[in-house]
Amino acid sequence: MNTVRLTKEFDFEAAHALDGYGGKCKDIHGHSYHLKITTIGKPIEDAANPTCGMVIDFGDLKQIVKKHILSIFDHYLILRKDSRFRGLEKTNPRVRYVDYQPTCENMLIDIVGILQQHLPDEVKLHSALLRETANSYAEWFASDND
């Protein structure tokens, strides 16, 4: 059976601030993010299985991303736990504090780690791309992280 890569793309809005950074990104600002997830696996061969012929149902992948990624990133303000903006959660429940500087690169690493915990065992994450602007993005490849 052939191995196939399956890709689904998502969009979400989020804000962040890069504490300690010297540029304009040190202050709270937002982006329209574009997330591209590529899985890899072998299509299911069991004719009795409703997902026969699929690596993973596109709808199932959508639900995994929606439940475990978009639910904690979409329309959230992402801040480092020691951020100088600490306390904003008192007036806005959509603040998420993280253990890392919320750069595009680190947010992507966080997303990859979450996805790897929730994909079915027979489906592997091949690559992920997080686009922060129309011409700026971070990429992750499983082959680079063996």
Q: Is position 132 annotated as part of the catalytic site?
A: yes
Beta sheet of 124-133, edge-to-edge order: 95-98, 76-80, 4-16, 29-41, 124-133, 136-141
What are the φ/ψ torsions at residue 37 (nearest 5 degrees)?
A: -115, 125
Residue type at 8 in one-letter notation: K
Catalytic residue among 13, 75, 122, 139: 75
Burial of 8 (0-12, 13-18, 19+ CB in 10 A): middle
Q: Is position 118 annotated as part of the catalytic site?
A: no
Q: Is position 52 annotated as part of the catalytic site?
A: no
* Residues labelled as active-site residues: 25, 75, 132
